[in-house]
Amino acid sequence: MKCSKCGVCCRLFRINLTEEEYKSGRYRTEFEEFGLVEDFKEAEMCGANIIMPNDDGSCMYLKEGRCSIHKTRPQSCRNFFCADKRFDNMIKKIDEYKKASIKRVE
């Protein structure tokens, strides 16, 4: 399976930042209005290292169905690939989402 660049993964899954990414301040995060949690382990435990979602739950950097920060996207986005067996559960959810979307259009 080859990536179809459909952006469904960006609609379904929250993006966890690495410690370096989180501390860089390059990305907007869920709890940024409360300030940076200095201890990264604590930030991970409370979800402060997760990219801020749009109101519909999709990644805030998903614009018109495409990643608006593709060249500087987080490592977890770089690691994910639709054909990688490590991500079987996520791939199943993507397939289910696509099938449900097709049925809604019919």
> Per-10-residue mean pLDDT for the chain, 106 residues long?
71 91 93 87 92 93 91 88 69 77 66
Query: Hey, where are the domains in the chain?
Result: 8-105
Q: What's the Rg (C-alpha) of the chain? A: 15
pLDDT at 2: 56
Q: Which of 80, 72, 102, 75 is nearest to 7 (CA)?
A: 80
Q: Which amino acid is at 25?
A: G
CB 15 within 8 A of CB 74: yes
Characterize the bridge pairing of strands 62-63 and 66-67.
Answer: antiparallel
pLDDT at 65: 85
8-state DSSP, 59: B
pLDDT at 100: 79
Element (H, E) at 62: strand 62-63
pLDDT at 58: 92
pLDDT at 75: 92
Distances in whole angstroms, Cα of residue 37 to Cα of each of 15, 19, 31, 60, 61: 17, 11, 9, 21, 22
